[in-house]
């Protein structure tokens, strides 16, 4: 794979166009999530709908997970418009559930941590793009770390261990920082492997799938950092 990481002059435009579309979709998704999260936090009706009923909240979480798995598994067979709508719906649903951060943390700390997360994400993404080191081996290690974090968080819902609650965000930052670099390099490779005559629909679907991966990396990195540096209300 190392040779495939070297971008030849005639491939630069193709890679640049693909990554530009990917980051554009990611930015649009994050913007939609942020706007809906803020608007939901200001609306007593929406807050009651999302958090007033445990069933509603669980349904929203299941819908989000379902869309992630659906997009990841089926995007190759989907129409570009369907993939686009699915990503937009996912971003909107995330805004509903993530509105809780505006209730739990001060707006000043949310803004501060957002810029910290953005700076880290940009730095790691640039590293993933420019490094000649093959990061493929990171994939299985980071996946195991991600599974470990999920299990630890679920277990701690019952144990309510303060030490575990303190440690998990630090491990999470390391895992999602690694995933940001890994996913960026993976997307670069994906762009290089796309046929030169790939149609616009195929390119858009690839960009949306890449945007979803980077969106998840950024959101989770931000949440982990917020738990470490955020000032609670």
Is residue 128 included in any domain, yes or no?
yes
Contact status, residue 126 vs residue 64, Cβ threshold 8 Å: no
Q: What's the domain range around 223?
A: 9-229
- What mean pLDDT is predicted for residues 137-149? 92
- What mean pLDDT is predicted for residues 91-97? 97
Is residue 2 included in any domain, yes or no?
no
pLDDT at site 47: 96
- What mean pLDDT is predicted for residues 137-141? 90
- What mean pLDDT is predicted for residues 20-47? 96
| pLDDT at 1 exceeding the cut of 70 | no
pLDDT at site 61: 93
Is residue 148 included in any domain, yes or no?
yes
- What mean pLDDT is predicted for residues 207-218? 96
Is residue 3 included in any domain, yes or no?
no
| pLDDT at 2 exceeding the cut of 60 | no
Q: Which residues contact 10 (CB under 8 A, 6 or more apart)?
A: none
Residue closest to 187 by CA, chosen among 26, 8, 10: 26
Instruction: Give the tens place of pLDDT for each residue, 51-91.
Output: 999 999 999 999 999 999 999 889 988 999 999 999 999 99
How many domains does the structure of the chain reveal?
Answer: 1
pLDDT at site 159: 87
| pLDDT at 4 exceeding the cut of 60 | no
User: Which stretches within 99-161 are classed as H helix?
Assistant: 100-104, 107-130, 138-159
| pLDDT at 10 exceeding the cut of 90 | no
Instruction: Give the tens place of pLDDT for each residue, 145-198.
Output: 999 999 999 898 888 898 999 999 999 999 999 999 999 999 999 888 877 767
Is residue 4 included in any domain, yes or no?
no
- Give pairs for 52-58: CB < 8 Å, separation 24+: 57/97
- What mean pLDDT is predicted for residues 7-20? 74
Is residue 154 included in any domain, yes or no?
yes
pTM: 0.91
Q: What percent of the chain has pLDDT over 90?
A: 76
Nearest-5° angle of CA 81, CA 82, CA 88? 90
């Amino acid at each position: 794979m190392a040779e495939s990481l070297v971008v030849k002059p005639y491939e630069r435009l193709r890679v640049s166009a693909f990554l530009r579309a990917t980051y554009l979709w990611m930015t649009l998704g994050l913007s939609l999530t942020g706007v809906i999260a803020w608007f939901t936090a200001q609306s007593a009706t929406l807050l009651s709908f999302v958090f007033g009923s445990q069933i509603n909240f669980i349904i929203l979480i299941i819908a989000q997970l379902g869309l992630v798995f659906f997009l990841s598994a089926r995007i190759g067979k989907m129409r570009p418009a369907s993939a686009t709508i699915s990503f937009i719906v996912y971003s909107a649903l995330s805004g509903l559930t993530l509105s809780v951060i505006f209730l739990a943390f001060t707006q000043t700390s949310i803004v501060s941590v957002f810029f910290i997360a953005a700076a880290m994400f940009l730095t790691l993404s640039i590293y993933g793009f420019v490094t000649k080191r093959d990061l493929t081996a990171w994939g299985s290690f980071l996946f195991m770390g991600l599974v470990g974090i999920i299990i630890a968080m679920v277990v701690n819902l019952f144990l309510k261990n303060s030490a575990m609650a303190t440690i998990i965000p630090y491990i999470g930052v390391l895992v999602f920082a690694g995933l940001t670099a890994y996913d960026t390099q993976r997307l670069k490779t994906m762009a290089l492997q796309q046929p030169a005559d790939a149609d616009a629909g195929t390119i858009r679907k690839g960009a949306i799938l890449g945007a979803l991966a980077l969106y998840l990396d950024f959101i989770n990195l931000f949440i982990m950092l917020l738990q470490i540096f955020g000032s609670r209300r």
